[in-house]
Amino acid sequence: MPNVQDQAAGIRKMSQTKPVRVIAVTSGKGGVGKTNLAVNLGVTLARMRRQVALLDADMGLANVDILLGLSPEYNLSHVLRGEKTLSEIMLTGPAGLKIIPASSGIQHMSELSTVEQAGVIRAFSEIDKDLDVLIVDTAAGISASVVNFARACQEIIVVVCDEPTSLTDAYAYIKLLNRDYALSKFHIVTNMVQSAQQGRNLFAKLCKVTDRYLDVNLQFAGSIPMDESLRKAVQKQTPVVELFPQSQVTMAFKQLAKTINNWPIKSRAGGYLEFFVERMIQYSSEEDVA
């Protein structure tokens, strides 16, 4: 039986797909507003006429659908079992944002058979033509599944807020990815700050530690302010950029989306979605062997 790499190579030869920007939105700890940021960023990019999908990669505590008031009938587990295609499980959110619902308990892609692995790779490669950006909302923390998702993405956004535990956990997360997996480039978004200056000061604090102890390149992507409208939007299960389009926080999301939209798109092989899933399978398999 051909291995998954051989089948994936065949898929790539058959399809002329375009590069897709694959971004992990992650954090060292919970409670920093990571998922809310991922949702509002996705909607904002979609408003900029980007074709955007948001993958809820928190396999234990999936909540993207809750924030959007959606009730998915099917999720990623149905794709993994070959019961549904990726297009069939995707939900449509505000501004046409596509949502790929997570499934509790799907922790290791390496548990799939070779045929199933190739099927998942094909499922993602088939939606390449319809996407410009894939945002991967990971779980918080430094579990193996979180690390694998981050390693598989092209870009990593680490969300921090002005709490000592947020900074220390973000540092531990970056240190792990740098020391054990040689990742060196990270984008930092400071969330729930009182002012733009506070956001930059927070970024400077993190840089002061990483510059001293790690060989990494931290890039400041922007700040999202603390805003009462955000709390109201969460209660109404509606993105704040939709409910309060003139709010300060919406303006911040627009600026963040513009910054990300200007990042260079990687046109090399790693820019295609089947490579994202192929890497996920590879990393999960390495973890099991270890």
**CA 33 – CA 231 distance, rounded (Å):** 11
Which residue did the predictor score with more confidence, 25 or 287?
25
Q: What is the mean pLDDT of residues 109-114?
A: 54
* Mean pLDDT computed over 162-167: 94
User: What span, in angstroms and rounded, lies between the C-alpha atoms of 125 and 3?
Assistant: 17
Q: Which two tokens stand for residue 255?
A: 């600026």
Mean pLDDT of the chain: 84
Is 64 within the bounds of a domain?
A: yes
> 112-115, long-range: CB within 8 Å, 24+ apart, which pairs?
112/80, 112/281, 114/1, 114/2, 114/3, 114/4, 114/7, 115/1
What pLDDT score does 87 carry?
87
124-138, 156-170, 274-288: segment of lowest average pLDDT? 274-288
Q: What is the pLDDT of residues 56-66, one digit of tens each?
A: 887 666 688 88
> Looking at residue 73, which CATH number applies to its domain?
3.40.50.300
Q: What is the pLDDT of residues 232-275, one digit of tens each?
A: 999 999 999 999 999 999 999 999 999 999 998 765 544 456 66
Task: Count CA within 13 A, CB hemisphere, residue 286.
Answer: 13
Residue 37 has pLDDT above 90, yes or no: yes
Confidence class for position 162, pLDDT limits 50, 70, 90: very high
Cβ burial 256-266 (10 Å sphere, 16+ → b, else e): bbeebeeeeee
* Beta carbons of 175 and 213 less than 8 angstroms apart: yes
| Residue 127 CA to its chain's centroid (Å) | 17
pLDDT recorded at residue 217: 97
Dump strand ranges (E) for the chain. 21-26, 52-57, 91-92, 98-100, 133-138, 155-160, 185-193, 217-225
Whether 284 shows a pLDDT value over 70: the answer reads: no
190-239 confidence digits (pLDDT tens):
999 999 999 999 999 999 999 999 999 999 999 999 999 999 999 999 99
| Sequence-distant (≥ 6) Cβ neighbours of residue 157 within 8 angstroms | 23, 24, 25, 26, 186, 187, 188, 189, 221
Q: Which band of pLDDT confidence, cut at 50, 70 and 90, is reported for residue 149?
A: confident
Among 4-13, 102-111, 178-187, 276-285, which stretch is predicted with the lowest mean pLDDT? Answer: 4-13
Please check whether residue 206 lies inside any domain of the structure. Answer: yes
Asked if the structure places residue 183 within a domain, the reply is yes
Host domain of residue 276: 4-12+23-289
What share of the chain has pLDDT > 70, as a percent? 78
Residue 18 is assigned to a structural domain of this protein: no
What was the pLDDT predicted at 273? 67
In the chain, how many domains are there? 1
Residue 52 lies in a domain: yes
Q: What is the pLDDT of residue 1?
A: 43
| Residue 35: Cβ-neighbour burial (10 angstroms; 0-12, 13-18, 19+) | buried
